[in-house]
Amino acid sequence: MSTQDPLHPPLTLETLRQLSVAQVRECLEHSGCAPELWALLERDPRLGVRRLGIRSRQAWQRQEAEQTRLGRLLELEQRWWAQGCARVAGVDEVGRGCLAGPVVAAAVILRPQTRLPGLDDSKKLSPEKRARLALQITAQAQALGIGQVEAGEIDQIDILQASLKAMRLALAQLGEAPQQVLVDGSHRPRSPYPETAVVQGDSRSLSIAAASVVAKVHRDRLMVEYDLQYPGYGFAEHKGYGSPQHLDALEALGPCPLHRLSFAPVARTRKASASFSLFMEGIESCRHLAELERIALYIKEGVAELQPGELEELRNQYRVRRQLLGGTGPRGAAEAAEYLEGCGYQILERRYRGAGGELDLVARQGDCLVFVEVKSSQAGGLGHPEERVDAAKRAHLVRATRHYCERHRVGGQEFRFDVIAVVFGKGEPQITHLIEAFQANSL
Q: What is the pLDDT of residues 419-436, one digit of tens each?
A: 999 888 777 888 999 998
Task: Indicate if the pLDDT at residue 65 is higher than 90.
Answer: no
- Residues 257-277: pLDDT tens digits? 999 988 889 988 877 788 888
Domain map of the chain by residue range? 13-68, 76-226, 274-326, 329-438
- CATH of range 329-438; options 3.40.1350.10, 3.50.50.60, 3.40.50.720, 3.40.718.10: 3.40.1350.10
pLDDT at 380: 59
pLDDT at 143: 95
pLDDT at 376: 83
- The whole-angstrom separation of Cα 350 and Cα 373 is 11
Cβ 270 vs Cβ 305: under 8 Å: no
pLDDT at 271: 75
- Our CA dihedral for 430, 436, 438, 441, rounded to 10 degrees, sits at 160
- The whole-angstrom separation of Cα 413 and Cα 219 is 65
Q: How many residues does the chain have?
A: 443
CA atoms lying within 13 Å on the CB side of residue 226? 22
What's the mean pLDDT in 143-154?
95
Torsion sign over Cα 68, 73, 76, 82: negative
DSSP state of 303: G
Could you tell me which residues come within 8 angstroms of residue 214 by beta carbon, excluding any fewer than 6 positions away? 106, 108, 134, 137, 138, 144, 146
Single-letter amino acid code for the residue at 95: G
Confidence tier at 15 by pLDDT (50, 70, 90): low
Give the residue, 86 or 273, on which the prediction is more confident.
86
pLDDT at 120: 63
Confidence tier at 9 by pLDDT (50, 70, 90): low
- Residues 91-133: pLDDT tens digits? 999 999 999 999 999 999 998 877 776 666 557 778 888 898 8
pLDDT at 2: 39
Do 76-226 and 329-438 come out as alike in CATH topology?
no
What 3-state DSSP class applies to 234? Answer: coil
Mean pLDDT of the chain: 84
Which CATH fold would you assign to the domain 76-226?
Nucleotidyltransferase; domain 5 (3.30.420)
pLDDT at 104: 97
What phi, psi does 336 have (nearest 5°)?
A: -65, -40
What 3-state DSSP class applies to 438? Answer: strand
Cβ 364 vs Cβ 345: under 8 Å: yes
pLDDT at 236: 95
Question: Count of CB atoms within 10 A of residue 90's CB?
Answer: 30
pLDDT at 192: 94
Question: Count of CB atoms within 10 A of residue 378's CB?
Answer: 9
Confidence tier at 34 by pLDDT (50, 70, 90): low
Could you tell me which residues come within 8 angstroms of residue 426 by beta carbon, excluding any fewer than 6 positions away? 379
pLDDT at 340: 94
- The whole-angstrom separation of Cα 275 and Cα 27 is 78
- Ranked by mean pLDDT, the top range of 74-88, 141-155, 254-268, 407-421 is 141-155
What's the mean pLDDT in 437-443?
71
- The whole-angstrom separation of Cα 182 and Cα 194 is 9
- Cα 152 versus chain centre, distance: 20
What's the mean pLDDT in 138-165?
93
- The whole-angstrom separation of Cα 216 and Cα 220 is 6
- The whole-angstrom separation of Cα 227 and Cα 256 is 11
What percent of the chain lies above the pLDDT cut of 90? 37
First to last CA, the chain: 89
